[in-house]
Amino acid sequence: MPQNGSTQTIETLLKEKRTFKPSSQFQKNAHVPSFAKLQALSRAAAKSPEKFWADRAKDLLWMKPWKKTLVWKPPFAQWFVGGKINVSVNCLDRHLDGPRRNKAAIIWEGEPGDVRTLTYLQLHREVCRFANGLKALGVGSGDRVVIYMPLVPEAAVAMLACARIGATHSVVFGGFSTEALRDRINDAQAKAVITADGGWRKGAVVKLKDNVDAAVADCPSVQRVVVFKRTGNEVQWNAAKDVWWEDAVRGQSAVCPPAALDAEHPLFILYTSGSTGKPKGVVHSTGGYLTQVAMTCKWVFDLREDDTYWCTADIGWVTGHSYVVYGPLANGATTMMYEGGPLTPQPDRFWDMIERHRVTIFYTAPTAIRTFMRLGPEHPRRHDMSSLRLLGTVGEPINPEAWLWYHKNIGGGRCPIVDTWWQTETGAIMISPLPGATACKPGSATFPLPGISVAVVDKAGKEVPLGEGGYLVINKPWPSMLRTIYRDPERYKSQYFSQVPGVYFTGDGARRDKDGYFWVLGRVDDVINVAGHRLSTMEIESALVSHPAVAESAVVGRPDELKGQAITAFVTLQATQTPTPVLKDELCRHVAKAIGSIARPDEIRFTDALPKTRSGKIMRRLLREVAAGQGVKGDTTTLEDFSILTKLQSAEDE
C-alpha cells in the first residue's frame, strides 16, 4: 500500500453518466431476469452466505456430501469440508447420460486455420486415456504436473486428466521464457511436464520443447516430459525422460475411474507475478473453486444450451482456467478455443471466426479492444456478427470510450457487456453485472455478485463515503478464494491479510458512486500523488483515450521537486494520426477539460506501442523508470515485447 501521511485515499475525477439497461428481449430468457430478482438473491445471500453457497454447490455432482460448509480460521478457509468430488466428472461424465453426449464440448481453431471439434463423449474418452497414460508414467494423486502447451484441445485434456487422477496442475503460459518456466517448475517441484513440439503464434512456430529442454536441465524433480506433436518441427530427444503423447496414450483404456478427492484437494497452482517480485504460486481448491466458477459462468454469461461461447484467454491465465475450461464444461456448454494471434493473418481474424462459428458470447480483454479500436471499425464491419448476443471484458479497467466502441462496433448496439472484476487469487468473477438484470455504466463493473461481500475502505479498514476513492477489500471468505501461496503461507498472510485489518486486500483502488456502483481504479501502486492529490492513473488514461486521436495511453508519475510527482503520459495514436507538438498541447487541454486541471499531464510522449505483460496489462513500473530518466531495472521477463522498451528508451535518448 502506498505511503501517504494523510487519511485521504484516492481522489476521483472521472464522472461517467451514461447507463445502458438490459433489453426486455434479453431479460425474457435470462437466468436472472431482473434487478429485483438479483437484489433478492443478494439479500438472501448476505443474510446467510453459507446457505447460499451450499445451494450452489448442490448443483454439482458430489461423490460424498460435505459435513460443514465453511471452516474459517482467518485467514485460512476450507469449504465443503468432508465432501468428496472430482472436477473431471463434473465437467464430463455427468453430461454423458443425456442430450449433451454428442454435443460439441470444444470447438477449436488452430492459427493456420485447421478446425477440430470434440464432443463431450470424445473429450471424455481422450481425458480418460490420457489420465491412464499419466498413471502409467508414474503420476498420481498429490503430484504436481506443469503444463506448457499451445492452446490446443490437448491442453484442456491434460488439465482434466490431472483433475481426474488428483494430480495438481500448474499451467505455465507458452509465451514465458525458459527461465520463467524453470523457476515455476522448481517452485512447484513438478514430477512431470506436458508440452508440445511447438505452437503457432503470429505465423511462426514457438519452439516449446526447446524451452522445456533448457529448463528441465535445471529441474531435478522432473521425471517425465510428455510431448504432443503439433507443429512437426524437429526436437531434441532425451530418451530417459521424454515420451510422445501418442505413445503415452497408445493402448490405454478409455475407462479411468475418477479419484474421489477431498473438496479442499489442490486442483491447481497458478503462478502470478503482479508487476514486481518473485512469482507467487496461487493455490486453488477443488470443490469450492468449481462451485463458484460454475455458478458465475452460468449467471454472468447467461449460458444457454445452444450458445457458442468464446473466451479468448490463453489457458496460461486464470481466465483460461475458469472461463475457457472449467466453467463452461461444468455447465455442459460449447467452449471455443483459438490457438494463435488475434491479428493473424489479418486484423479481422476474430470477427471472421465469430462469423464462421456463429459465436454467441464473446469474452476478451480491454487491451485487445483498444488494439481493435486503433485498427478501425472497418475490420469488424466486413463480417456478419449478428450471432453475438453477449460481450464481456476482464483484466483491466475498461475505459468508457473503449466500452462504447465495443458496444457499438462488435455488439451492434444490441449486446449487453459484462465488465467482470476478479483476480487470479479470487478464482472466479466477484464483481460484475448480470446481463439480464443490471443497468450498466461504461467503465463500471457495477455490483458484487450474490454471496460476495466487498467494500471500499481507508487504511484503517473504515468504509469511505460514496463518491470517494479507497482500497477495494473483500470482507468475507468466498468458495473459490485462493487457499494459500504454495509452500509460503506467511507470504499469503502478509500479502493479502495484513494491509487492512481483518479483511482480504485486493491491491486495487476503487470508489462507489452515489448509486452504489463500483468503479475499479486500477492497482493502488499505480496511484500518483500530484501536489498532495492522489490521482488514479486509470482516470487520466481514460480521459486521454476519449480524445479521437488517441488509441491507448499509460500514465505514470515522475519525481518533481515542486509537485511531488509530475504526470507523464505515454500515448499511442490511432493508425490515421501523426504525432505533433500541437496535438500534445491539445491532449493536455483535453484532459484538463475532461477531468480537471489538476490532472493535466506535464509531459506527453508518443510511442508506437506500450510495454505490457504477456497477459496484456500495461507495465507502468517500467514506464515510471523511463519517465524518471533512469535506466530500466528489475525483472522484465514478463514483457510482451522488448523492442518496445528499447524504442521508448531510445526515444528518451534523442
Residue of 578, 576, 571, 579 whose CA lies nearest to 545: 571
**Helix or strand or coil: residue 3?**
coil
- Give the DSSP per-residue string, 619-640: -HHHHHHHHTTPPP-S--TTBS
367 part of the interface to ligand WTA, by CB under 6 A: no
Among 396, 401, 625, 640, binds ligand WTA (CB under 6 A): 396
Minimal distance in Å, beta carbon 241 to ligand WTA?
Answer: 32
**396 vs 401, beta carbon nearer ligand WTA:** 396
Tell me which residue of 192, 159, 191, 190 sits closest to 267, measured CA to CA.
159
For the bound state, the minimum distance from the C-beta of residue 521 to ligand WTA, rounded and expressed in Å, comes to 8
Any contact of residue 310 with ligand WTA (CB under 6 A)?
no
Q: Is 285 a residue that touches ligand WTA (CB under 6 A)?
A: no
Residue 560 CA to residue 569 CA, distance in Å, equals 15
Rg over alpha carbons for the chain, rounded to the nearest Å, is: 24
CA dihedral 6, 7, 10, 11 (to 10 degrees): -80
C-alpha cell at 190: 513438478
The answer to whether 541 contacts ligand WTA (rule: CB under 6 A) is: no
Q: Which residues within the stretch 583-622 sit at the binding site for ligand WTA (CB under 6 A)?
A: 615
| Burial classification of residue 81, based on how many CB atoms lie within 10 Å of its CB (0-12 exposed, 13-18 middle, 19 or more buried) | middle
Per-residue exposure over 543-560, b if at least 16 CB sit within 10 Å of its own CB, e if not: bbbbbebbbbbbbbbbee
| Pair type for strands 204-206 and 199-201 | antiparallel
Does the footprint of ligand WTA cover residue 300 (CB under 6 A)? no
Shortest gap between Cβ of 322 and ligand WTA (angstroms)?
A: 8
For ligand WTA, the closer of residues 282 and 644 by Cβ is 282
Beta-strand pair 261-262/115-119: unpaired
Report the residue number, 397 or 557, with the smaller CB distance to ligand WTA. Answer: 397
520 binds ligand WTA (CB under 6 A): yes
Give the shortest CB-132-to-ligand WTA separation in angstroms: 33
Judged by CB under 6 A, which of 484, 495, 506, 536 binds ligand WTA? 506
* Residue (131 or 415) nearer to ligand WTA, CB: 415
Confirm or reject binding of residue 400 to ligand WTA (CB under 6 A): no
User: Does residue 13 belong to the site contacting ligand WTA (CB under 6 A)?
Assistant: no
Beta bridge partners of 109: 115, 338
Of 53, 173, 176, 422, the one binding ligand WTA by CB under 6 A: 422
Candidates 227, 318, 373, 481: give the one binding ligand WTA (CB under 6 A).
318
Query: Three-state SS for 365?
Result: coil
Does 340 help bind ligand WTA (rule: CB under 6 A)?
A: no
- Taking CB atoms, the residue at the shortest distance from ligand WTA is 424
Question: Is residue 480 involved in binding ligand WTA (CB under 6 A)?
Answer: no
Asked whether position 570 contacts ligand WTA by CB under 6 A, the answer is no
Q: Which residues contact 444 (CB under 8 A, 6 or more apart)?
A: 16, 419, 513, 517, 518, 519
Using the minimum distance from each CB to ligand WTA, give the nearer residue, 360 or 423.
423
Residue type, 605: R
**Which of 180, 182, 129, 184 is closest to 154 using CA atoms?**
129
- Tell which positions 71-130 bind ligand WTA, by CB under 6 A: none
What do you get for the CA distance between the two ends of the chain, in Å?
Answer: 35
143 makes contact with ligand WTA (CB under 6 A):
no
Closest Cα to residue 283, out of 390, 188, 207, 393? 188
- Contacting ligand WTA (CB under 6 A), which of 423, 438, 484, 565? 423
| x-marked contacts with ligand WTA along 195-224 as a string, rule CB under 6 A | ------------------------------
Least Å from the CB of residue 354 to ligand WTA: 21
Minimum CB distance to ligand WTA smaller for 143 or for 419: 419
Q: Does the protein bind ligand WTA through residue 272 (CB under 6 A)?
A: yes
In this chain, which of 394, 545, 556, 609 binds ligand WTA, going by CB under 6 A? 394
Q: How far apart are CA 90 and CA 287, in angstroms?
A: 10
Owner of C-alpha cell 517448475: 185
497 by DSSP, 3-state: which?
helix
Strands 484-485 and 280-284 turn out to be: antiparallel
275 binds ligand WTA per the rule CB under 6 A: no
Provide the binding-site residues for ligand WTA, judged by CB under 6 A.
272, 318-319, 394-397, 419-424, 445, 506-508, 520, 522-523, 615
